[in-house]
Amino acid sequence: MNFTYSERKTFFNDQSVLVPSEHEISFDAYLIDSDFLVRPNRYGEFIAQYQPLDMGAMHMLYEAGERALSEVLMSMGSDSMKEPRPNYEKRDGSLFTSQLFAPKLNIDPDDTDGPFFQPSPQVSVRANFHDREDGMIYLHAQYIDFYEKTPLPDLGRPERECDIDF
């Protein structure tokens, strides 16, 4: 696609409009995929996938995402080349964060006995929405707080029988 000089100038003058502190959000979730949370993938991105713990958190996230999208749409000029759209949800409904910097963690990711290596650990995430110059809106994780490791049930003891009277 060939652009004229003025179109190219307009395209490269489009800038990010979302201020991180104004679009900050916190939610509790299960950490589904953390393969590239501590070390970047081959493209230099730090990516993690989450499933919010409850529908209230999911609803809050989608509302905040819609507000971010609305702000980007309202800030566009008539000559803008942006195509705003969200880029923080997978097809299965789970959320993901994608960024070029590592988020801060409250644990040592090299501790193999820690909650990082627990299957689907519960975390509290502080994140913000960020838009690129082309209009794509991303969710960036600033801080991830891992809950303490959940103890496994002791299968050696017999379960107590419940005596329920009706």
Q: What is the DSSP letter of 161?
A: P
Question: What residue segments make up the domains of the chain, in order of their start?
Answer: 17-149
Write the DSSP string, 106-130.
Answer: SS-TT-TTSGGGSSS-EEEEEEEEE
Average pLDDT over residues 114-139: 88
pLDDT confidence tier of residue 151, bands split at 50, 70 and 90: low
Could you tell me the two tokens for 109? 């990711």
At 88 the three-state DSSP class reads coil
Least confident of 25-29, 43-47, 130-134: 130-134
pTM, to two decimals: 0.75
Non-local (6+) Cβ contacts of 2 within 8 A are none
Check whether 147 has a pLDDT greater than 80.
yes
What is the gyration radius of the CA atoms in the chain, in angstroms? Answer: 21
Check whether 49 has a pLDDT greater than 50.
yes
For tokens 């566009």, the residue is 76
Q: What is the distance between the alpha carbons of residues 98 and 128, in angstroms, rounded to a whole number?
A: 11
pLDDT at 153: 57
17 and 75 in contact (C-beta within 8 Å)? yes
What kind and span of H or E run contains 33?
Answer: strand 24-36
* HSE-CB for 57 with a 13 A CA cutoff: 19
139 and 129 in contact (C-beta within 8 Å)? yes
Non-local (6+) Cβ contacts of 164 within 8 A are none
| Mean confidence (pLDDT) of the chain | 82
Superfamily of domain 17-149: Nucleic acid-binding proteins (2.40.50.140)
